[in-house]
Chains A and B, each alone.
Chain A
Amino acid sequence: QVAEPVAETSEVDALDAAPAAEEERRVRSITVRGNERLEPETVASYIGLSAGEPYDRNRLDTALKSLYATDLFADVTIRDRGGDLLVEVQENPVVNRIILEGNRRVKEDKIAPEIRLAPRQIFTRAKARSDVARIVELYRRQGRFAAAVEPQIVPLDQNRVDVVFEITEGPKSKVKRINFLGNEQFGDGKLRGEIATRESKWFRLFTSNDTYDPDRSAYDQQVLRQFYLTEGYADFRVASSVAELTPNNEDFVLTYVIDEGERYNFGEVTLESEIRDIDETSFRALIGIQDGDVYNAKRIEDTITVLQETAGLLGYAFADVQPQFTRNREDLTMDVAFVIREAPRVYIERVDINGNVITRDKVVRREFRLVEGDAFNTFKVKRTQARIQSLGFFQEDLEIEQKPGSGPDKVILEVNAQEQATGELQLSAGFSSLERFLVSASIRQRNFRGLGQELRASANISSYSKSVDVGFTEPYLFNRNLALGFDVFRRDFNSFNFNASGNRNTTYEQVTTGLQLRTGFPITEFWSASVRYNLQLDDISLPLNASRFTDFNGDGEFTEDECDPIRSGRFLCDALGKRTTSAIGYSLAFDNTDNRIRPSRGQRVVFSQDIAGLGGIKYLRSQIDADKYFRIGRSDFIVGVGLEAGYITGYGGDDIRINDRYFLGEPRMRGFDIRGVGPRVIRNRYIPATADGDGNLPDGAIAVPDLNGSPGFVVIDTNPDRQQDDSLGGQAYYLGRVEMQIPLGEGVAELGIRPSIFVDVGALWDVDFDPDSQLINRPTFDVQRFVDADGDGRPDEDADGNRITETVGTPGFREQFFGDSPKPRVSIGIGASWNSPFGPFRFDIAKALLSEPGDDTQLFQFNVGTSF
């Protein structure tokens, strides 16, 4: 608390009247009067005098001062009656309530924390005055210079008061015009662009920078100076800056008078090191400034940082690089000598981790690449910081702070973590073009028991698939660099495709239960390897009914091997039944990205192979994923270039079944429908052909002997909406992607919206399917039909009562095979991902520029509830 100046009228009258003789006087007694709330001993304890002690004028003065300093008293008088001190106090009232009136622009919760007066606190005039000033300051910060605050004191019983602050806000004082004088090299517009304050224009609705704020205009002067220094004007200075109020004293006109001075180039640039094992030649190469370049203060700063960081690599954490300037006015050059001051090699004294209320100490400490006692190394510190950020448990801008240790050669590394919520209890209902209506409940704890373990349990129910998935990962088993994880899952999945009328029909049911066991360990700082085992039992079934099966062996009921390829498609028939996949796999990964969750620099390459064969089907799958991230210049435009490629092949006679093949389309390749890329069979129906007015038939019509009992003509119905499209998948694919994230103002970024533009290139091909033999092209089919000769609407019956059937021809269909080619499909588009309150939301608009005949393109797609 600000000590209150003793300006009050404090009369110490009795003292002057005392006799001048300053002989030794002792306090005989102290009586306190006028105190209501405080006890006499409390008041006495502040005076600092007690009975029997000698006293004199200035002891009493200090007593008076200390009583006022407590802020407890409105008025104090001390009367000395020959040693009997009578202390009369009048206690300050206690605040009952604080009321703010008239604050429309600045809300209560903004003002309340600023005020020192609070209920049950002691009221003093000084506190009230400082609170008034503080509220006016708040309004001034908002650009309202005409704001005024009137404190009203409402006395209540028992020496209590209500404090009312009456606020008259007044209009916002805008900056009408900003003028510059003395600027020859750069125009007013350029300079206005550099500074923070903006002229108030009608179209500048949201900015608050167009109000006059003295601090901001001081900051503007600095910005101007820095700007000129980067343009070579070493002598630049702001001669004066004036803010005049316009006559209607609502707006301001700012005028900056500047003196640019001469433009300098770099003269001789040298480097000198007082540290023994820093050799000057190699460090000299680090300086990016050539003699004769235009003088630029920023490049000097950058060079200093580069030199300090490189010195840090050799263990000199506190290396101090100082530039020494010699200005030669004649040829307008500036010589710069970078001097690396003497500094001891620095060792890590302690690693302190604070703020971890949930996470255990070792979970952060084991990510450190430096240990107590090691020599300091900037690269390892940066690498550690990237690893801790990639844990995803703490604030995004977490930093490792370097604090001086107990000696000049000691440094303390400190992590001040602010833990974020790492548990996600997600109950999200969603709608996705992939699975229509989607309800998913999942609990995920990325920092289980603060041990960094990940526990995942999720259940998704959508109209087409139900799945339960439980997973657990321990990144450091027995405190070793060995990660162990397992997943157990069960998925009931109804596959679907688009039939003639364009809506979905369930073609087959797939029940998959399985488990996966995976381990992972580092090989070097960036290389790591992992080994895994999956066991998966698939049961693909079809409803055993007439629409799918034909009773080939005539035993009266349908069995799985009697699947009728015509009705349900041959790839489905050969996929029916139970299958076990028991595969072991390994991956080799290189990852030096700076942040695994939102990378902006570095690359990640993963090569993996899975061999299925220990019982069950046999295949070998190889896959490579490579991503590289970089920033364009110093801007926030982050570009990600990605390439994926995979190939799966059966061995030992097994061929690859449909659900082991790759599929390509939304959502991984945008601009195309689900499974929209790659080999497919398109089935068009035949429809009866009728001759037009003058007797000729539509071209392509085919004569058929029996169409509904009599010869006729059929023609192909080429309407794409009514054709049936069955994607076969493929054994080989590649997918390339270039995606650039567009930085937005932080207003939007806070909502978590990250827009990006992208180009996708990919292809899917190679399926063992022989178009000549396996395609069906049947203009008509023979179908059993009941006979109703007597037209009574009921099927006729023969002598012994069973119905009479006749075979008759109905329009059939023609299948064509498309898309089995490695030629690249290309799509370009714009999209945005948004962490909405109910789950990550991805939305893309992509146009397919290049596609093979038969591919299904799709312009617009969105997905919610699936995590990205």
Chain B
Amino acid sequence: CAGKNAADGVIDRKYVARDVATLYTFGKDSLDAGRYRQAAAIFDEVERQHPYSVWARRAQLMSAFSYYTAQEYQDSISAAQRFLSLHPGNKNAPYAYYLIALSHYEQIEDVERDQQTTLRALNALTELTRRYPNTRYASDARLKIDLANDHLAGKEMTIGRFYQERQQYIAAIKRFENVVERYDTTSHAPEALHRMVESFLLLGIPEEARRTAAVLGSNYPGSKWYERSYKLIQKHG
């Protein structure tokens, strides 16, 4: 989903030294042939030997892209960051930010593990939408931001269910409240509300359970979660 690299569309001026071109095309060919790591190494060489050619600028971007496709996310991030430090004004800058965000995004762990990478992905994605709001990269980034938030909410829910299963309802409620407050637009919100209804009933505070069920009913009337809460309130409320 990394999109074709936008640099090909640029008509570049005639360049004197031929060997840079051959080196660059050799890199391009190995990229197309699927030898991504080798392509990345060649693009780095282009930049090192001919730092002032227009090719160098594009080579930096291409090396970042090759590292990304080779799933060498750390190298892709550092290559893209080097491009941005030299050419912040370049019209391909949004693409570089996009590559950095995607590299972080690909390293997201599943919900039962440490979510540092998700937070890093979130920062990179929001940075992209803040700097270049109306590029097509930003629209894809916004979608990924929601998914990342959904993922973070997923982790809170896992921990909440963990506490609930061990009858530690006070701790469980705090985690579900956290989801309702900070991740209320994610897909986990209705379940969080229902879990709060359950936990308040199990904790012996039915009036709070009733209030939460009412909120769940008004926001997600058709959801299966509300049905369950409604039944619980009838029985135990």
Contacts and interface: CB of A to CB of B under 8 A. Distances in A.
Q: Is A–B contact present in the complex under a CB 8 A cutoff?
A: yes
A853 interface: no
A647 to B, nearest CB: 41
B170 interface: yes
Given A158-B51, A361-B155, A365-B159, A45 B113 contact: no
29 contacts: A36-B52, A38-B87, A39-B90, A41-B89, A42-B89, A42-B90, A94-B51, A96-B48, A120-B47, A158-B52, A159-B52, A350-B174, A353-B114, A354-B116, A355-B114, A356-B113, A356-B114, A357-B113, A360-B113, A361-B162, A362-B112, A371-B163, A371-B168, A371-B171, A372-B175, A373-B170, A374-B170, A374-B171, A450-B113
A119 interface: yes
Interface in B36-86: 47-48, 50-52, 56, 82, 86
B12 interface: no
Interface string B94-135: 000000000000000100111010000000000000000000
B89 A120 contact: no
Interface in A26-84: 36-39, 41-42, 45
Interface of A: 36-39, 41-42, 45, 94, 96, 119-120, 158-160, 349-350, 353-362, 365-366, 371-374, 450, 479
B13 interface: no
Given A159-B52, A365-B159, A42 B87 contact: yes
B235 interface: no
A42 B93 CA distance: 12
Contacts of A353: 114
B158 interface: yes
Given A41-B89, A357-B109, A362-B112, 4 more contacts: A38-B86, A42-B88, A120-B51, A361-B162
Nearest to A93: B51
B181 interface: no
Contact of A373 (B51, B87, B158, B171): B171
Nearest to B160: A372
User: Nearest 4 CB-CB pairs, A to B?
Assistant: A373-B170, A372-B171, A360-B112, A42-B89
Nearest to A94: B51
A450 B170 CA distance: 27
Contacts of A45: 88-89
B8 interface: no
Nearest to B53: A158
B19 interface: no
Contacts of A159: 51-52
Contacts of A450: 112-113
B46 to A, nearest CB: 11
Interface in B199-222: none
Contacts of A357: 109, 113-114
Interface string B159-191: 100110110101100110000000000000000
A435 B231 CA distance: 68
B61 to A, nearest CB: 14
Contacts of B171: 371-374
Nearest to B173: A373
A349 B56 CA distance: 52
A334 B67 CA distance: 68
Nearest to A348: B171
A449 to B, nearest CB: 10
Contacts of A349: 174
Nearest to A359: B113
B113 A361 contact: yes
Contacts, number: 79
Contacts of A362: 112, 158, 162
A36 B174 CA distance: 59
B207 to A, nearest CB: 19
A366 B166 CA distance: 9
A92 to B, nearest CB: 11
A96 B51 CA distance: 9
A438 to B, nearest CB: 39
A77 B162 CA distance: 66
A315 to B, nearest CB: 15
Contacts of A160: 51
A348 to B, nearest CB: 8
A355 B115 CA distance: 9
Contacts of A350: 174
A37 B90 contact: no
Contact of A372 (B52, B90, B170): B170
Nearest to B112: A360
A398 to B, nearest CB: 14
Given A450-B113, A479-B166, A37 B174 contact: no
A740 B175 CA distance: 48
Nearest to B159: A361
Nearest to B48: A120
B113 A37 contact: no
Instruction: Select the residue from A45, A94, A359, A450 with max chain B CB neighbours within 10 A.
Output: A94
B151 to A, nearest CB: 14
Contacts of B159: 361, 365
A350 B163 CA distance: 12
Contacts of B47: 120
A577 to B, nearest CB: 51
Contacts of B51: 37, 94, 120, 158-160
A94 B50 CA distance: 10
B91 to A, nearest CB: 9
A99 to B, nearest CB: 15
Nearest to A365: B162
Nearest to B111: A361
Contact of B48 (A41, A119, A360): A119
Nearest to A354: B114
A353 B87 CA distance: 39
A360 B110 CA distance: 9
A360 B155 CA distance: 11
A357 to B, nearest CB: 6
Contact of B82 (A120, A355, A361): A120
A64 to B, nearest CB: 19
Contacts of A372: 163, 168, 170-171, 174-175
Contacts of A374: 170-171
A174 to B, nearest CB: 43
A354 B155 CA distance: 12
Contacts of B155: 361
A45 B171 CA distance: 52
Contacts of A356: 113-114
A525 B165 CA distance: 20
Nearest to B91: A41
A158 B50 contact: yes
Nearest to B109: A357
A361 B52 contact: no
A89 to B, nearest CB: 14
Nearest to A419: B114
B8 to A, nearest CB: 19
A448 to B, nearest CB: 14
B22 to A, nearest CB: 17
Instruction: Select the residue from B82, B114, B175 with max chain A CB neighbours within 10 A.
Output: B114
A158 B88 CA distance: 22
A591 B175 CA distance: 33
Contacts of A361: 112-113, 155, 158-159, 162
Contacts of A94: 51
A365 B164 CA distance: 13
Contacts of B168: 371-373
Nearest to B51: A94
A33 to B, nearest CB: 15
A740 B82 CA distance: 57
Contacts of A96: 48
A37 B112 contact: no
A424 B146 CA distance: 40
B44 to A, nearest CB: 8
A354 B168 CA distance: 22
Nearest to A36: B52
A96 B49 CA distance: 8
Contacts of A359: 113
